[in-house]
Amino acid sequence: MSRIRAILYAFLAAVFYAVNVPASKVLLAGVGPASMAALLYLGAGLGVSILSLVNRKDSTGSEKLTGKDLPFVIGMIVLDTAAPIFLMLGISYGSSANASLLGNFEIAATAVIALLIFKEPISGRLWAAIALITLSSILLSVEGTDSFRFSYGSLFVLAAAVCWGFENNCTRMISSKSTYEIVVIKGVFSGLGSLIIALIKREPVPAAGYIAAALLLGFVSYGLSIFLYVRAQSVLGASKTSAYYAVAPFVGSFLSFVFLRERLSRMYLSALIIMIAGSALVVTDTLIRHHTHLHQHTFTHTHGGSTHTHTVTHSHAHDHYVTDNEHGHRHTLKELEQLPGAAH
Is the pTM higher than 0.85? The answer reads no
pLDDT in tens, 258-310: 877 777 777 778 878 888 888 788 878 877 654 444 445 555 656 555 665 65
Chain centre to alpha carbon of residue 334: 38
Q: Find, among 11, 49, 344, the residue nearest to 185 by Cα.
A: 49
First to last CA, the chain: 49
Kindly give the parts of the chain with pLDDT less than 50.
Answer: 145-148, 290-295, 314-344
The set of residues, in sequence order, having a beta carbon less than 8 Å from that of 234 and lying 6+ positions away, is 1, 6, 175, 176
Q: Are 33 and 312 in contact (CB under 8 A)?
A: no
What is the DSSP annotation of 252-293? HHHHHHHHS-----HHHHHHHHHHHHHHHHHHHHHHEEEEEE
pLDDT in tens, 274-287: 888 887 888 788 77
In degrees, to the nearest 5, what angle opens at C-alpha 172 toward C-alphas 166 and 178?
A: 130
pLDDT in tens, 145-190: 444 455 677 788 888 889 988 998 999 899 888 899 999 999 999 8
What are the helix and strand counts (H, E) for the chain? 15, 3
